[in-house]
Amino acid sequence: MKKVVKFGGSSLASAEQFRKVGDIIHADAARRYVVPSAPGKRSSNDTKVTDMLYDCYAAAANGDDITEKIDAIKSRYQEIIDGLGLQLTLDEEFSVIRAKFEEGAGSEYAASRGEYLNGIVMAAFLGYEFIDAAEVIRFDENGTFDAETTNEQMSARLEAVERAVIPGFYGATADGTIRTFSRGGSDITGSIVARAVHADLYENWTDVSGFLVTDPHIVPNPETIETVTYRELRELSYMGANVMHADAIFPLRKEGIPINIKNTNRPEDPGTLIVESTCRQPKFTITGIAGKKGFCAINIEKAMMNTEIGFGRKVLQVFEENGISFEHVPSGIDTFTVIVHQTEFMEKEQRVISGLHRAVQPDTLDLESGLALIAVVGRGMRAQRGTAGRIFSALSHAHINVKMIDQGSSELNIIIGVRNEDFEAAVKAIYDIFVLTHL
Ligand code: ASP
């Protein structure tokens, strides 16, 4: 068995957290490749080391004296080193970092040092080999991640390595310039390593016991999702649910490697398992509910639209030419609606309207703003009759008017549009009918 384990910033914020991580790793010999984030917040009003590094670099770029800021970062690591009783000094590393900051090495280099240094500490703590991500993770000159070169380099480098620590979040171009992923990108590093070593499991350790069925700000203490498929997760994260970086899914999906989201502070909790496919029936008919506010509908009406071949293409071309991506296109015989993100649309609204008039000469065209979309997602819906019926009766009981419905034939999700102000009540009503009444 081979497992890749990634630990997030809050799991590595202090010596005490490092100890928990050590116990977790030692409890299972299969946990061979470790990907750490930079130290995160120790309490809610603390600052992440990554943010301290960005801030320090900005000061250096401004020509300010950075002694105090560098010392504050150094003391975050020193506290961990001392707390773990390690014989390790980062003095030399910090003088290189300081010099590079003053030379203008770039903010990506700066941010990457959080993971780099934490990797050194983690390797010393575990007695594992340290492998600098700059050696194995490749970006091209434009800063785009090069998945295939990385996979080759990473597999070759790790082939004969029994146990190693590979810091998250960054890599380098062919000439050695450090580049980072977007924020939260250590998740991606973990999945890249898992793909390269053909891991049996990628464990992503964080500070929650997995994905929740819905947003806890809307429904207090929602149930945890036990198993979710990559496709379901994609739908849910697209609509705003997040625990893991969305780009971390792809390398694993390619190889069918499962991911287990686990809680460092409650390692006994099973967490959420993310898989390609499963025979395990979900506990409830639905797997999750996610949603977002701030959409706008452009409603186009034209008599005999149904006979006009190419109508939809012409409409969508106007959006394409204005660089606006559309979310959904519910349509009727003589009506065609395009749903878009309001902020993206607003700046170009009048150009789109005149473009539509020119392209399709509608009888009427009206806009409706302030819409929220809710995705009710679940592989279990396919085999069930009455799912849509239950959703709509729950919404009707909650006195919520449904503005739009969209269900693809995959039956993986049902998208419902409601007014922004009905959003929370709608999510709650759907949660209640599928989850609360089935506990
Ligand atoms: N340390 C980086 C961040 O704060 C990357 C990560 O933690 O995944 O975004």
Q: DSSP class of residue 30? A: T
What three-state secondary structure class fits 302?
coil
pLDDT of residue 247: 87
Torsion sign across C-alpha atoms 179, 181, 187, 188: negative
Query: How many secondary structure helices (H) and strands (E) does the chain include?
Result: 15, 16
Probe residue for ligand 1, chosen from 50, 53, 112, 113 as the CB with the greatest number of ligand atoms within 8 Å? 50
Torsion sign across C-alpha atoms 269, 274, 280, 286: positive
168 in contact with ligand 1, CB cutoff 6 A: yes
Q: Which residues contact 182 (CB under 8 A, 6 or more apart)?
A: 245, 247
Ligand 1 centre distance from Cα of residue 183 (Å) = 5
Give the separation between CA 123 and CA 139, rounded to whole angstroms: 24
What three-state secondary structure class fits 1?
coil
What three-state secondary structure class fits 426?
helix
State both tokens at 287.
């797997």
Instruction: Determine the Cα angle at 17 with ends 38 and 24, to 5°.
Output: 105
Give the separation between CA 133 and CA 167, rounded to whole angstroms: 6
Give the separation between CA 151 and CA 137, rounded to whole angstroms: 8
Q: Which residues contact 144 (CB under 8 A, 6 or more apart)?
A: none
What three-state secondary structure class fits 242?
coil
Separation of first and last alpha carbons in the chain? 35
Is 0.95 topped by the overall pTM?
no
Question: How many Cβ atoms sit within 10 Å of the Cβ of residue 321?
Answer: 13
Q: Which atom of ligand 1 is nearest to the CA of 186?
A: 8
pLDDT of residue 375: 95
Ligand 1 centre distance from Cα of residue 234 (Å) = 21
Give the separation between CA 250 and CA 264, rounded to whole angstroms: 24
CATH code for the domain defined by 3-207:
3.40.1160.10
Is there a contact between 120 and 88 (Cβ–Cβ < 8 Å)? yes
State both tokens at 188.
């991606």
Inter-CA distances, 386 with 45, 285, 399, Å: 47, 11, 20
pLDDT of residue 23: 98
Helix (H), strand (E) at residue 40: none
Give the separation between CA 112 and CA 97, rounded to whole angstroms: 11
Ligand 1 centre distance from Cα of residue 63 (Å) = 26
167 in contact with ligand 1, CB cutoff 6 A: no
Q: Which residues sit opposite 408 in a β-bridge? A: none
Ligand 1 centre distance from Cα of residue 230 (Å) = 22
The residue written with tokens 């015989």 in the block is: 333
37 in contact with ligand 1, CB cutoff 6 A: yes
Give the separation between CA 291 and CA 239, rounded to whole angstroms: 5
Q: Strands 364-377, 413-419: parallel, antiparallel or unpaired by DSSP?
A: antiparallel
Ligand 1 centre distance from Cα of residue 11 (Å) = 12
Among 3.50.50.60, 3.30.43.10, 3.30.2130.10, 3.40.50.740, what is the CATH number of 288-438?
3.30.2130.10
Render 141-202 in DSSP notation, one character per residue.
TTS-B-HHHHHHHHHHHHTT-SSEE--SSEEE-TT--EEE-STTTHHHHHHHHHHHTT-SEE
- Delimit the domains of the chain by residue range: 3-207, 288-438
Q: Classify the phi-psi angles of 242: left when phi > 0, otherwise alpha if psi is within -120 to 50, otherwise beta.
A: beta
Sequential pLDDT tens for the chain (439 residues): 999 999 999 999 999 999 999 999 999 999 999 999 999 999 999 999 999 999 999 999 999 999 999 999 999 999 999 999 999 999 999 999 999 999 999 999 999 999 999 999 999 999 999 999 999 999 999 999 999 999 999 999 999 999 999 999 999 999 999 999 999 999 999 999 999 999 999 999 999 999 999 999 999 999 999 999 999 998 898 888 877 888 898 889 888 999 999 999 999 999 999 999 888 878 898 999 999 999 999 999 999 998 999 999 999 999 999 999 999 999 999 999 999 999 999 999 999 999 999 999 999 999 999 999 999 999 988 878 889 999 999 999 999 999 999 887 777 899 999 999 999 999 999 999 999 887 6
Probe residue for ligand 1, chosen from 186, 243, 264 as the CB with the greatest number of ligand atoms within 8 Å? 186
Each residue's pLDDT tens digit, 302-316: 999 989 999 999 999
Each residue's pLDDT tens digit, 149-207: 999 999 999 999 999 999 999 999 999 999 999 999 999 999 999 999 999 999 999 99
Probe residue for ligand 1, chosen from 47, 115, 118, 247 as the CB with the greatest number of ligand atoms within 8 Å? 115
pLDDT of residue 411: 79
Each residue's pLDDT tens digit, 38-71: 999 999 999 999 999 999 999 999 999 999 999 9
